[in-house]
Amino acid sequence: MFSDLDALAPDALLGLTKLFAEDKRAKKIDLGVGVFRDKENRTPILRAVKTAEERVFGWETSKVYTPPEGASGFGDAVARLLLGEAHPALADGRCAVVQTIGGCGAVRLGGELLKRVGAECVTSGAPTWANHQPLLMAAGLRMKMIPYYDAEKRAVQIDGFMGAVEKLGPEDALLLHGPCHNPSGADLSREQIDAVLDRACAQGFFVFIDAAYHGFAEGLDEDAYLPREAARRLPELLISYSCSKNFGLYRERTGALIAVAKTPDRASAVKSHLLNLARGNYSMPPAHGGEIVAEILTSPELTTLWREELSAMREAIRENRRLLVRTAAEMQMGDALSYIERQNGMFSLLPLSVEQVMAMRERHGIYMAGNGRINLCGVNEGNVAHLCEALRDVAGK
């Protein structure tokens, strides 16, 4: 059975962590994998999460299966957090929410639902997160790439993007990041979001939002502009949500798929299909992460603590962005990196070729994804000069 299987190359990004760990150089820098790290290079468990966990351990009396839609209260709490308490789609009962195995599980389940209703293809701005393609292809969909990030201008190429969006029709599905575009950090402005939603209303294409960094750009409410407006203006919508980054629950594999439908009746039909698709795969999601999130979001005191911790993570990344741009300017590198300060979330793309990315690694012990994506969490006072010197050496930047 297995004799014809050739071994596949390990996942490039996950492989980078191993290569970094094996590198013996003292001045090495890890700008690779997408997790938050503090100044001491740790990814600590949030205090709100620890406290919620203690509470869950206190009241949990059984390990029987969770309901198929996930931990009690989780879906409702996440939908209210993202869409806002008073959102009409919630008040009208037009939302169906299921807990998923992380944001990846939500993208995959959303893709499977689109496939079930006849979609063949999802359109996405290029570049996009490296795992969108494998997840959506595994759901039986193709991906069509349209222009999004202009590597020369280091910003969204809005004319090219809108030009392609204007050609979409009712049979198309458009994948949008909301917020903190991965890998570029370049988000659509509110005006640009409005323009895309105008086109969706006029042309009838479907919108699928991938929200993996809620709270990492400007704040929980500010970052929810796209999903809130989309759920207000569009009759139907899918939103994949990840609790990996904003709750720091990476390994607990906690996420949600939110479907907005035309009527409450359609929302329950959609939910039944989501549960059916999940049943044919993993049956029901793991409980622990969902219970932690529900505990935090239903406790005013833990919600306050969590919001403070999320703000601190957001501000720490902003500070790292400022530090890199300031240091580059102080080292007479001009303003070549100034765009980094205008972007959101953990990631930015450095304008480096694959060969230059390899040279950063081999000559200077600086590890990043092959497309030049860096995680700003890896930048700190102690290593920023080394990073800038390496960039100057490799790219003359």
Least distance between ligand PLP and beta carbon 179 (Å): 10
CA distance 110 to 71: 19
Binding test (CB under 6 A) with ligand PLP, winner from 32, 102, 110, 285: 102
What is the closest distance, in whole angstroms, from the C-beta atom of residue 286 to ligand PLP in the complex?
Answer: 12
Only one of the segments 15-23, 101-109, 152-160, 284-292 lies at the binding site for ligand PLP (rule: CB under 6 A); that segment is 101-109
Give how far the C-alpha of residue 347 lies from the chain's centroid of Cα atoms, to the nearest Å. Answer: 10
Q: Which long-range contacts (CB under 8 A, 24 or more apart) does 358-365 make?
A: 359/394, 360/390, 360/391, 360/394, 361/19, 363/390, 363/393, 363/394, 364/27, 364/389, 364/390, 364/393, 364/394, 365/23, 365/25, 365/27, 365/28, 365/29
Nearer to ligand PLP, 234 or 256 (CB): 256
| Nearest distance in Å: CB 210, ligand PLP | 5
What single-letter DSSP state applies at residue 255? Answer: E
The answer to whether 210 is a known catalytic residue is yes
State yes or no: is 30 an active-site residue.
no
Q: Amino acid letter at 175?
A: L
Q: 364 with 356: CB under 8 angstroms?
A: no
d(CA 267, CA 272): 9
Question: Which residue, 364 or 373, is less far from ligand PLP as judged by CB?
Answer: 373
CA distance linking residue 238 with residue 365, whole number of Å: 41
- Give one word for 237, left, alpha or beta, with left for phi > 0 and alpha for psi -120 to 50: beta
Asked if 337 contacts 325 with a C-beta cutoff of 8 angstroms, the reply is yes
* Binding segment (CB under 6 A) for ligand PLP, from list 103-111, 186-194, 257-265, 364-372: 103-111
Contact segment (CB under 6 A) with ligand PLP among 38-46, 102-110, 201-209, 231-239 equals 102-110
Catalytic residue, chosen from 223, 245, 271, 306, is: 245
| Catalytic pick among 210, 223, 271, 306 | 210
Smallest separation (angstroms) from ligand PLP to the CB of 313: 15
| 322: DSSP letter | H
Exposure string (b/e) for 309-323, b if CB count within 10 Å is 16 or more?
bbeebbebbbebbeb
Among 81, 104, 136, 366, contact with ligand PLP (rule: CB under 6 A): 104
Q: How far is the CB of 192 from ligand PLP (least distance, A)?
A: 18
| Whole-number Å distance between alpha carbons of 302 and 310 | 12
> What is the closest distance, in whole angstroms, from the C-beta atom of residue 397 to ligand PLP in the complex?
25
Q: 237 or 336: whose CB is closer to ligand PLP?
A: 237
Q: What angle do CA 136, 236, 184 make, to 5 degrees?
A: 45
Q: Kindly state the tokens that stand for 313.
A: 């993570």
First to last CA, the chain: 52
Active site residue 306: no
Contacting ligand PLP within 25-44 (CB under 6 A): 34
Could you write out the DSSP letters of every residue in 132-153? HHHHHHHTT-EEEEEE-EETTT
Q: Measured from the CB of residue 326, what is the shortest distance to ligand PLP in angstroms?
A: 27
Looking at 99-107, 193-201, 227-235, 319-327, which segment touches ligand PLP (CB under 6 A)? 99-107
Residue with smaller CB distance to ligand PLP, 30 or 391: 30
- Binding pattern for the stretch 228-247 against ligand PLP, x by CB under 6 A and - elsewhere: --------------x-x---
Q: Within 183-212, which residues bind ligand PLP (CB under 6 A)?
A: 210, 212
Nearer to ligand PLP, 66 or 254 (CB): 254
Q: By CB under 6 A, is residue 182 in contact with ligand PLP?
A: yes
**Cα 29 to Cα 322, 332, 341, distances in angstroms:** 18, 22, 20
Residue closer to ligand PLP by CB (options 180, 379) is 180
Which CB atom, from 187 or from 210, has the smaller least distance to ligand PLP? Answer: 210
Residues with catalytic roles:
129, 210, 245
Q: Which residues bind ligand PLP (CB under 6 A)?
A: 34, 102-104, 107, 129, 177, 182, 210, 212, 242, 244, 255
